Amino acid sequence: MGKPTVHDIAQEAGVSLATVDRVLNARPGVRPATIEKVREAVTRLGYVRDTSAANLSRRRAYRFVFVLPEGSGQFATSLKTAVRDVSRSQIADRVAVKVHEVPTHDPHAIVRALKRLSSDALDGVAIMAPETPQVRDAIVRLKEAGTAVVALVSDLPNAPRDNFIGIDNIAAGRTAALIMGRFLAKSGEILVLTNSMRSRDSLERRLGFDTVIASDFPTQSVLPSIEGFEDPERIRQIVGDVAASRPDLVGVYSTGFGTTPLLEALRGSGRLKDLVVLAHELTPTTRRALMQNEIAAVIMQDVGHLVRSAMRILRAVCDDIPIFDAQERIRIEVIMRENLPAT
Amino acid sequence: MGKPTVHDIAQEAGVSLATVDRVLNARPGVRPATIEKVREAVTRLGYVRDTSAANLSRRRAYRFVFVLPEGSGQFATSLKTAVRDVSRSQIADRVAVKVHEVPTHDPHAIVRALKRLSSDALDGVAIMAPETPQVRDAIVRLKEAGTAVVALVSDLPNAPRDNFIGIDNIAAGRTAALIMGRFLAKSGEILVLTNSMRSRDSLERRLGFDTVIASDFPTQSVLPSIEGFEDPERIRQIVGDVAASRPDLVGVYSTGFGTTPLLEALRGSGRLKDLVVLAHELTPTTRRALMQNEIAAVIMQDVGHLVRSAMRILRAVCDDIPIFDAQERIRIEVIMRENLPAT
DNA sequence: GCTGGACTGAGGTACGCTCCTCATTTACCA
DNA sequence: TGGTAAATGAGGAGCGTACCTCAGTCCAGC
């Protein structure tokens, strides 16, 4: 005999199909004693609900929205691609996914986008945005409307999001520091390029980085962060200045957006080959730089995993079922020239 | 309107449901012109078959077997755990998974196990075993019986396996070499511990390692491999001897099984703290060693990913449908003290 | 004993698909 | 032109589950 079905449970428990159904779906109107009988039959027969049949019958459809930063960055682009890819795989079975792009540094625009969302009927939102009071409020409203909300890449710990999906950014910064410290042959100064002090992920990476450099490599000194504000020209300019004026520069750590102009400036200064450069996220730029030994290593998170995880967690929150943590933990991956994933 | 169904296709193509079904399932008795009409309707509406409904109806059940090395190693154990975990997730929907354990270094025992399999009615096999002529023959027989076969962790390129699921072991060795070379502060000798020269994965890792050391770090010299043969006592002995007799030893690379006795021997020699040690796979042993700075880095592959991928690919082969490569490529992950995944 | 409420049983319909049968139409060849 | 085979339509049963309705049972409390 194959897998037991609800019919088998009904027979085994000596109750009707309807009662089994009531128990399995936690519907009211069943005596505790009967519930127990059914439960026992379930364990005795080792019944497991056939989820595909269940979903088919339930004709449940989830409507999810991904709120992602607008255009520009290569990382954001690959995220969007990942969303599209995943949404046509079996993980996105019965879910309709939309992507809303918002300008990263305009909290009001983000809030407007989120407000427009709450009016739609939708089940879940995955948000990648800096944590501002306005964004927090908007999330509060979404939650009040009964929508599942997860933070993506950069956490929003003070908003009532159901979950954070992304790497531990402090640990990522610590990892970068460990690699930097061990790769550096001599002591000197390290330049850190951050996105903006308002981006929680940048901040946390910087924090982790400083901590490990201070504890494990005290002979190295880390310069104050340069804030890029997603402005390539500004980054080129400032990095160029630093490269020219700091003879002791030995390493550069780019915590997020802006690796392309950073590399251009360093190439221009002619010092690139002597520096240990670390960056985040595997993009066409960092891939090329790795192959040409311009970047020593890249810290990355698998965007496909990120998106799949977001889908699974949003679903789990919607259905109020527990999450299988181990599968959802996003790895801090270290990519070097030799373990570059194929294109 | 939601996703299009077969009914929509029938209407759109102006044919009956039965004809659509015949076309979709490649059953005979349909004129080429009609087939074309249906095909067009499918693309026009963007129809994708609801596989869970299809499987439900088909009452298809897949029976897969994982042939894994017996007991001993920590990696093998975590693989088995992963199989059990995955088999109760939605990926293993409608598949019955069994694990067969075989003694790694007894090709005849492996073949006996595989033979016993072919008599059962089963749909797919995932094998992790060294490539011997006997194993090859057994796989030929399995394929002749119409069973899907994939190689796990260690490839069997000369057997008619449908696929290989695991990392590119040459690249893994190259990655190890790159890390080793950059971490080493001074020149000297590097010890490599391999499982057995018969294990293809060990061989390939060693090959990749040597290549990069020779090209990028020519001042380092790599000693001849020590073969561990999965014998802890033997490993402790030989490694202890090398540590005692080789004052120039600066690095150690453990390509597979045997990291535990290796570390014990090195600890005993009192030289562990001065060596750069790299190992494969995250296990309780390597985890502890990373935290205590005894191992500099671990090269690993995500066993969960490995198993899920094997399931998906076996299914795809059974159903003769294409594989979404990007999702199946197993990453070569680099783990250091700071990016250790939580337990 | 009667009533109301809580429980339970029986059965139906639906989800999207597969696979079957049987009748009907179409096309082609002799 | 009729005959025949191929092509197609129509419809039904079933996969395992969800969810609905309606009727019937049981028991406590009055």
Query: pLDDT above 90 covers what percent of chain B?
Result: 49
Helices marked H in A46-168: 51-58, 74-87, 107-119, 133-144
Check CB contact of B4 with chain A, cutoff 8 Å.
no
pTM of the model: 0.87
Check CB contact of A55 with chain B, cutoff 8 Å.
yes
Q: Closest partner residue to A56 among B56, B88, B89, by Cβ? A: B56
> Are A51 and B93 in contact (CB < 8 Å)?
yes
Check CB contact of B177 with chain A, cutoff 8 Å.
yes
- The pLDDT tens digits of the residues spanning B80-134 come to 999 988 887 777 777 888 899 988 778 888 888 888 877 667 889 999 988 888 8
CA quadruple A89, A91, A96, A100: dihedral sign = negative
> Are A85 and B333 in contact (CB < 8 Å)?
no
Check CB contact of B179 with chain A, cutoff 8 Å.
yes
Choice between A319 and A279, residue whose per-residue pLDDT is larger: A279
Length, in residues, of chain B: 343
Q: Closest partner residue to B174 among A52, A326, A338, by Cβ? A: A338
Q: Point out the least confidently predicted range of A327-331, B212-216, B301-305, B336-340.
A: A327-331
Check CB contact of B119 with chain A, cutoff 8 Å.
no
Check CB contact of A186 with chain B, cutoff 8 Å.
no
Tokens of B94: 């409608």
* Model confidence band, residue B174 (pLDDT cutoffs 50, 70, 90): very high
Q: Which of chain D's bases lie under 7 Å from a protein CB?
A: 6-12, 14-21
> What is the per-residue pLDDT for B113?
84
Q: Assess whether pLDDT exceeds 90 at residue A343.
A: no
Backbone angles phi, psi at B335, to 5 degrees: -115, 130
CB-based contact B118:B147 (threshold 8 Å): yes
Q: Closest partner residue to A304 among B52, B302, B327, by Cβ? A: B327
Check CB contact of B332 with chain A, cutoff 8 Å.
yes
**Does strand C come within 7 Å of the CB of A14?**
yes
Place of tokens 């240990």: A276
> What is the per-residue pLDDT for A188?
93
CA distances from B11 to B4, B6, B103 (A): 11, 9, 58
Check CB contact of B304 with chain A, cutoff 8 Å.
yes
> Are B183 and A178 in contact (CB < 8 Å)?
no
Q: Assess whether pLDDT exceeds 90 at residue B51.
A: no
**A29 nearest nucleotide via C1' and CA:** C7
**Does strand D come within 7 Å of the CB of A288?**
no
CB-based contact B247:B271 (threshold 8 Å): no
Beta bridge partners of A158: none
Query: pLDDT above 90 covers what percent of chain A?
Result: 45
Q: How far is the CA of A88 from the C1' of D17 (A)?
A: 25
Q: Which of B184, B303, B335, B339 to probe by mutation at the A interface, max A CB count within 10 Å?
A: B339
Q: How far is the CA of B30 from the C1' of C21 (A)?
A: 17
**A50 nearest nucleotide via C1' and CA:** D16
**Distance between CA atoms of residues B264 and B241, nearest Å:** 13
Q: β-strands B189-194, B249-254: how paired?
A: parallel
Q: How far is the CA of B199 from the C1' of C1 (A)?
A: 85
**List of chain B residues whose C-beta atoms are within 8 Å of the C-beta of residue A302:** 331
Q: Assess whether pLDDT exceeds 80 at residue A91.
A: no
Average pLDDT, chain A: 89
**Distance between CA atoms of residues A255 and B283, nearest Å:** 30
**List of chain A residues whose C-beta atoms are within 8 Å of the C-beta of residue B56:** 50, 52-53, 56
Q: Point out the least confidently predicted range of A110-119, A160-169, B4-13.
A: A110-119
CB-based contact B167:B330 (threshold 8 Å): yes
Place of tokens 């992950």: B333
* Mean local confidence (pLDDT), A19-35: 87
**Does strand C come within 7 Å of the CB of A26?**
no
Average pLDDT, chain B: 89
Kindly identify which residue of chain A lies nearest to residue B304, measuring between CA atoms.
A327
Q: Closest partner residue to A336 among B2, B85, B175, by Cβ? A: B175
**Does strand D come within 7 Å of the CB of A49?**
yes
**Minimal C-alpha gap between B240 and chain A (Å):** 27
Beta bridge partners of A333: A300
The arrangement of strands across the sheet holding B95-102 comes to B95-102, B62-69, B124-127, B148-152, B163-165
Check CB contact of A89 with chain B, cutoff 8 Å.
yes
Q: Assess whether pLDDT exceeds 70 at residue A120.
A: no
**Minimal C-alpha gap between B251 and chain A (Å):** 14
> Are B183 and A182 in contact (CB < 8 Å)?
yes
CA distances from A199 to A24, A174, A205, A257 (A): 44, 17, 10, 11
Q: Point out the least confidently predicted range of A241-245, A248-252, B23-27, B186-190.
A: B23-27
Q: What is the DSSP string of A269-286?
A: HT-GGGSEEEEES--HHH
> What is the per-residue pLDDT for A327?
74
* Mean local confidence (pLDDT), A30-58: 87
Residue nearest to nucleotide C15 (CA to C1'): A57
Angle at B199 between CA B196 and CA B201, to 5 degrees: 120
> What is the per-residue pLDDT for A256?
84
Q: Assess whether pLDDT exceeds 80 at residue A264.
A: yes
Choice between A280 and A111, residue whose per-residue pLDDT is larger: A280
> Are B341 and A333 in contact (CB < 8 Å)?
no
For residue A110, give the nearest of A144, A142, A147, A78 by alpha carbon: A142
Q: How far is the CA of A74 from the C1' of C23 (A)?
A: 61
At residue B196, the 3 state secondary structure works out as coil
Q: Which of A81, A298, A339 to probe by mutation at the B interface, max B CB count within 10 Å?
A: A339
Q: Assess whether pLDDT exceeds 60 at residue A1.
A: no
> What is the per-residue pLDDT for A328?
82
Q: How far is the CA of A56 from the C1' of C25 (A)?
A: 36
Q: Assess whether pLDDT exceeds 80 at residue A93.
A: no
- The pLDDT tens digits of the residues spanning B197-211 come to 778 888 999 999 999
Q: How many CB atoms lie within 10 A of CB A36?
A: 13
> Are A338 and B53 in contact (CB < 8 Å)?
no
Backbone angles phi, psi at B62, to 5 degrees: -95, 140
Q: β-strands A189-194, A226-227: how paired?
A: parallel
3-state helix, strand, coil in chain B (%, to 5): 50, 15, 35
Q: How far is the CA of A18 from the C1' of D23 (A)?
A: 14
**List of chain B residues whose C-beta atoms are within 8 Å of the C-beta of residue A337:** 178
Q: Assess whether pLDDT exceeds 90 at residue B261.
A: yes
> What is the per-residue pLDDT for B116?
82
Q: Assess whether pLDDT exceeds 60 at residue B240.
A: yes
Q: Assess whether pLDDT exceeds 70 at residue B42.
A: yes
Helices marked H in chain A: 6-13, 17-24, 32-45, 51-58, 74-87, 107-119, 133-144, 169-183, 200-216, 232-245, 259-269, 284-291, 303-319, 325-328
Q: Which of chain C's bases lie under 7 Å from a protein CB?
A: 6-12, 14-21
Q: Calculate the CA A150 to chain-centre distance.
A: 9
For residue B177, give the nearest of B142, B198, B208 by alpha carbon: B208
- The pLDDT tens digits of the residues spanning B274-316 come to 999 999 999 999 999 999 999 999 999 999 889 999 998 998 8
**Distance between CA atoms of residues B18 and A295, nearest Å:** 59
Check CB contact of A326 with chain B, cutoff 8 Å.
yes
